[in-house]
Structure 1
Amino acid sequence: MGRVSFTTDNYYAAMKKLLPKGPAWELEDSTFFMKMLYLAALEFARLDADISKMIDESDPQSASVTLLDWFHQWGIPEECRAEDDDLEVLRTELLIKIRTLGLTFQELVYLIGQSCGYSETKIDAKRVFTVASTADDALYSEIWSNWFYTINVEKVNSIPFKTTSRVSERLQKWGNELFECLVKHYAPAHTSTIFTYGK
């Protein structure tokens, strides 16, 4: 249930009822005393509105005046995002960052993958190379998983060179720069990440 705000008239009526009973008070709205009382009611209503606004500003879903402060405190936009994103896109990014606080790296990778359009994103388990391994197995040691993550995405991302491409661009580009940048941003600081697509 939301907070109920009082209007100027609400405060004015409440203060009139709080006056002591008796003939000393002229309760007509046109009297000087009642006009002063109404001015006090105006101030109370203004403070009431400010309090309601402060409550709204404490929630990033409804904040407007303090929204830029929220962005600054939470490091929005991320280094991977465009600087010219509109406020609602940045607000969504902020809410995602707050809601994912405390998730494991594996859960974060999955959520980032979903936001980039991948239905299946996972961290591959490392298999230690042994005498029973085949010749095409990777040479992973037992400590490999302490320093490296292999992020596997089910979909191949390749962008070919087009007639509209610039001369300085590569003939073929693989991967997803935004996805990889976000995953690296949230990866444990001592680790490196390897990305594979389409396996």
Structure 2
Amino acid sequence: MSDFRSAILRLLPSGPIWSREPGSMAYKLASVWAPTFQRNGARAGNLLVDAFPATAVELLPEWESTLGLPDPYAGESPTIERRQAQVVARLTDNGGSSIAYYTALAKSLGYDITITQFVPSRFGKTFGGTFGGDAWAYAWKISAPQFTIQQRQFGNAFGEPYATWGSTVLQCEIRTRAPARTILMWDYGGQGNPAVLGNFELDFNTLT
């Protein structure tokens, strides 16, 4: 604050009535004004950080509003870091339909996944494999760690949890980009009993 007070005092006219000594009226007024100028300067400097979606905090709701976020499917209280990652993912998304595209999208959100595609049973298929009908042509199994833990890092927004885990944001983003007829099966921790999600419900046993 002293730097701002000194700067204000240097802007005052010169003369006997404009004393810069501590206790003078000019000095007292400068001490009152200095905190406001300091606060405004700090907030202006913060715009350099807040203007970028990857680090935005105060302007994050503006970015989200532009992109149709927050998405209710992502959970009621996603962390600042998850929200930032989701904004960046949507801004940088160029679209795609390959496995490489979806795994890269998940990576940008902080998740390492693998995707397995299936085919219906047909003559000549390897003996001993999964037997299923035509619905398997649209089935994906998305394998992800059972717990994707995001630890707090220096510089993260104040007031957030020290660690978070969950995959609601991942499910939200892939679900909205998957082809309309795709049947998504989520396999966490390699348990082999994925939960089926999509625009309609389909029991896993119906596919086998």
**TM-score, length-normalised on structure 1?**
0.49
Structure with max Cα Rg: 1
